[in-house]
């Protein structure tokens, strides 16, 4: 099912969100305005702000609070991607040149900082201290996940637990922020807010695992960014960890990571991984997390927003880009 059909219950709210992003880019500093127009005009699927808007549909629906919060979630996501691309020296994002490719690393990092600050301003505008606290905690978690990824690069001894902690911080924390915020701002009961948090966190883990699988199975044109990029950066994603659990101690993948091998060793390692059962096993684990996400909100009433959340969980694991 296409994402736009799944998100039909919040179609009008998403239109307002896109308008809000356009308005944010209209600053009185022409150079920054051009950069923001590029960064915000090429935003992605909008899954994270959609989660905030959907979870805000179950109880007291106040768009004056939900819209700035959803916009803040999207800005936090975009800012983290800009920093991520800059650290990784990435050249493409969603099929277009990255900010660091067009404006250089220094400008890209400062633009990311500006967006983090704007996100904080919008979160604060809700006037709800719990939301502001969650935004701060999430930014710390994302930063910690990035630091773990950098410090643990080329460590072939990472476990599944290491991986889940890292992606829990780097990716799932933002999904959980999005869902919890929707619940808090709509004055949902504590047990519902906890269910939203569990749903978002599990969905975020599933999303990241699928991303890691697509890094081996997708093509660059369809994915909109380079593929096969994690292993050269020394990042042991779940397919790599699953492969190493079953492979002999002396194998090309472990050798590449431990010795930081050259181009030929990389090609051999990638070919071995792409043909291994670890890819499908990782995808099954993503499906397990998606099912657990759905179970977390099973008790909620059968409203259109719940149907969208359940369909979104399926979409995340079945997507091809």
Write the pLDDT tens digit of every residue in 213-234.
Answer: 999 998 765 666 666 889 999 9
pLDDT of residue 219: 76
Domain 3-318 matching CATH 1.10.10.60: the answer reads no
- Complete DSSP assignment for 26-39: --S-HHHHHHHHHH
* 73, 174 Cβ separation under 8 angstroms: yes
Average per-residue pLDDT for the chain:
94
pLDDT above 70 as % of the chain: 97
* 53, 70 Cβ separation under 8 angstroms: yes
**pLDDT by residue (tens digit) across 93-134?**
888 999 999 999 999 999 999 999 999 999 999 999 999 999
pLDDT of residue 105: 96
Nearest-angstrom CA–CA distance, 203 and 200: 5
**pLDDT by residue (tens digit) across 31-51?**
999 999 999 998 788 999 999
Q: Break the chain into its structural domains and give their ranges.
A: 3-318
pLDDT of residue 261: 85
Nearest-angstrom CA–CA distance, 231 and 218: 15
pLDDT of residue 221: 59
Q: For residues 12-19, give the mean pLDDT.
A: 96
Q: Which residues pair with 93 in a beta bridge?
A: 96
**pLDDT by residue (tens digit) across 79-89?**
999 999 999 89
Q: Minimal CA–CA distance to 14: which of 36, 47, 42?
A: 47
For 92, phi then psi, to 5°, come to: -130, 145
Nearest-angstrom CA–CA distance, 20 and 40: 10
121: Cβ contacts below 8 Å, ≥ 6 apart: none
């Amino acid at each position: 099912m296409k994402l736009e059909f799944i998100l039909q219950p919040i179609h009008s709210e998403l239109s307002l969100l896109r308008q809000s992003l356009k308005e944010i880019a209209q600053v009185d500093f022409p150079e920054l305005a051009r950069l923001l127009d590029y960064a915000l005009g090429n935003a992605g699927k909008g899954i994270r702000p959609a989660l905030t808007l959907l979870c805000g549909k179950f109880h007291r629906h106040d768009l004056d609070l939900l819209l700035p919060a959803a916009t803040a979630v999207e800005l936090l996501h975009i800012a983290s991607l800009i920093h991520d691309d800059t650290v990784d020296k990435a050249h493409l994002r969603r099929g277009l040149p990255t900010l660091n490719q067009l404006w250089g690393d220094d400008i890209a990092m400062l633009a990311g900082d500006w967006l983090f600050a704007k996100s904080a301003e919008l979160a604060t505008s809700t006037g709800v201290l719990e939301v502001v606290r969650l935004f701060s905690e999430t930014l710390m978690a994302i930063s910690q996940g990035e630091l773990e990824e950098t410090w643990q690069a080329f460590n072939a001894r990472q476990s599944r637990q290491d991986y889940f902690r890292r992606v829990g911080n780097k990716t799932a924390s933002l999904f959980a922020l999005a869902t919890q915020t929707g619940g808090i701002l709509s004055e949902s009961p504590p047990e519902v807010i906890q269910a939203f948090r569990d749903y978002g966190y599990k969905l975020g883990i599933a999303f990241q695992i699928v991303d890691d699988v697509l890094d081996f199975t997708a093509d660059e044109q369809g994915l909109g960014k380079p593929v096969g990029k994690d292993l050269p950066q020394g990042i042991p994603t779940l397919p790599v960890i699953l492969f190493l659990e079953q492979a002999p101690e002396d194998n090309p993948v472990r050798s590449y990571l431990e010795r930081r091998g050259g181009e030929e060793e990389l090609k051999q390692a990638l070919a071995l991984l792409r043909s291994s059962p670890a890819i499908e096993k990782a995808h099954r684990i993503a499906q397990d997390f998606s099912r657990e996400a759905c179970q977390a909100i099973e008790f909620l009433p059968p409203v259109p927003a719940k149907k969208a959340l359940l369909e979104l969980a399926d979409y995340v694991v079945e997507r091809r880009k």
